[in-house]
Amino acid sequence: MISVRPDLRALDGYHSPQVDVRVRLNTNESPEPPPPAFRDAVAAEVSRVAWHRYPDRAATELRAAIADSHDVDPAMVFVANGSNEVLQTVLLAYAGPGRTVATFAPTYQMHGHIARVTGAQVVEGERAADFTLDPAEVDRVVAESQPHVVFLTSPNNPTGLAEPVDRVRQLLASVPGLVVVDEAYAQFADWTALDLVGEDVPLVVTRTFSKTWSMAAARLGYLIGPAALVAELEKVVLPYHLDAVKQVAGRLALRFSAEMDARVKQIVAERERISTDLAALDVDVVPSGANFVLFRPRRHAGREIWQGLVDRSILVRDCSGWPRLDNCLRVTVGTTAENTEFLDAMRALLALPPTTDENGASR
């Protein structure tokens, strides 16, 4: 009889329910594709790929291009299939059985999930009710669990809050192991932990092409960290993990950084419009430094609003059943037209009398 590892039996997979709708605002992707010139450049280079050969195992040109964009040495860059695979590789190398990983909830659930899959023990610190992280809680978790790896997500998902730089400094001063700052949404925020990275600092910063670069379909992410750490990751990751087409796409995307900056600016402006307009309604809004906004209806059940939006063919993320996120919904910033449609629907739904209470029971 085959049987799965006992420690995996109790684990739930990571789910992001998909519903067939017109306006898709649930997975924090970019609402716009990359520019047509990018597609043309990729098509031209892909036609020259040596399909019968394995790709460049070290992804030399792509790493050089990423390193150049951050003004670091290419030996400080590790690239993988989405930042999720970057995180998995870090955890395979630095977590695993007998080791401890700390996160501060609510945060990106994959950090804890991947850590558990590697066999590590996960310790969850608690954020305050407004989702900020108390320095005393950071000290408590570090002192009690002496983690081998600690995660901070800045801006955090699903709350949108940017973590203060002092929290990263505090962790670097107190954690015995590695600090991972997940910056999947950093381009939408005011600061980056990249400035703190150095050869003798136990810090890595992870980034993705899935959001600002409009390339979620490509599955490409990377980290910047000490070269010695990157060399360890190269031992752990599978040989030729990064296919030739992806290496081309990532390298060419970086030539369109001006277009990317323009998209980011537009999304930040729309995020501010969504936040301001929602705050004028009967909902609490969490200040966001990302490309999404977390909000909580005051009188209506989150699930009821989510369903009302789906009935209007608009999909947002229902976080209302997640621990510490009672009644919360998360909307990804879409195109101007999509955001207007979402806001109009919210005004209409919140003007209706609630039919269920916040626990889902009929009134």
Judged on CB neighbours under 10 Å (0-12, 13-18, 19+), 280 is exposed
Residue nearest to ligand PMP (CB): 82
Smaller CB separation from ligand PMP, 103 or 297: 103
Smaller CB separation from ligand PMP, 28 or 275: 28
Smaller CB separation from ligand PMP, 95 or 345: 95
Per DSSP, 185 falls in state: T
- Nearest distance in Å: CB 362, ligand PMP: 34
Place of tokens 């460049």: 56
- Nearest distance in Å: CB 44, ligand PMP: 26
- Nearest distance in Å: CB 80, ligand PMP: 9
The closest of 24, 34, 44 to 216, measured between CA atoms, is 34
Smaller CB separation from ligand PMP, 103 or 157: 157
Burial 207-229 (b: 16+ CB within 10 A, else e): bbbbbbbbbbebbbbbbbbbeeb
- Nearest distance in Å: CB 107, ligand PMP: 8
- Nearest distance in Å: CB 28, ligand PMP: 6
**Between helices 165-174 and 135-145, what is the axis angle to 10°?**
20
Smaller CB separation from ligand PMP, 216 or 227: 216
Judged on CB neighbours under 10 Å (0-12, 13-18, 19+), 126 is middle
Q: Whole-angstrom Cα distance, residue 30 to residue 332?
A: 9
- Nearest distance in Å: CB 185, ligand PMP: 7
Among positive and negative, which fits the CA dihedral 32, 34, 40, 44? negative
- Nearest distance in Å: CB 85, ligand PMP: 7
Q: Whole-angstrom Cα distance, residue 20 to residue 139?
A: 45
Smaller CB separation from ligand PMP, 107 or 170: 107
Give contact residues for ligand PMP (rule: CB under 6 A). Answer: 28, 82-84, 108, 153, 157, 182, 184, 208, 210, 216, 221
Smaller CB separation from ligand PMP, 184 or 278: 184
> How would you list the strands of the sheet with 221-224, edge to edge?
77-80, 221-224, 203-208, 178-182, 149-153, 100-105, 121-126
